[in-house]
Amino acid sequence: MNLALDASALVALLRNELGAETVQQLILDPANVSYVHAINLCEVYYDSLRVSGEKAALALLSDVDALGIVVSEEMDAAFWQDAGRHKADMKLPLGDCFLLAMAGRIGGEVVTADRGDLEPVAALGKFPIRFIR
């Protein structure tokens, strides 16, 4: 199964927060391929940079790579327009719109801890969403 990882899921994993074990099991399952969009990885990076400094933020990027998570840098017109439609239709944070666009493109399940923004999306039934906590 393809997985679209939200920044909140990666932060939980990398900081060993509640839900980290669930994310780790999903990522390490050989039946799954885990993706993170560069926009969402940027959210993880800047959070780490702000909280822990540049050395820790760069180490975090190495950890993502070591886990075999595929970083999607897609930004063709169809992709960013899809993200823009999500922003207009659902009024979500822009990072979540890119997450959903990537999930749609890879036919993947969203993995997130962000109930506040994504529970209403899950209720629509347009995207499979797994909440880690």
Q: The CATH number of the domain where 39 resides is what?
A: 3.40.50.1010
What is the tens place of the pLDDT at every residue in 38-79? 999 999 999 999 999 999 999 999 999 999 999 999 999 999
pLDDT average, residue stretch 86-106: 97
Average pLDDT over residues 75-91: 97
Structural domains in the chain (count): 1
Distances (CA, A) of 86 to 22, 27, 72, 107, 114: 27, 26, 18, 16, 16
Q: Yes or no: say if 44 and 103 are a contact pair by the CB < 8 Å rule.
A: no
Domain hosting residue 45, numbered range: 2-131
Work out whether strand 2-5 and strand 109-112 pair parallel, antiparallel, or are unpaired.
Answer: parallel
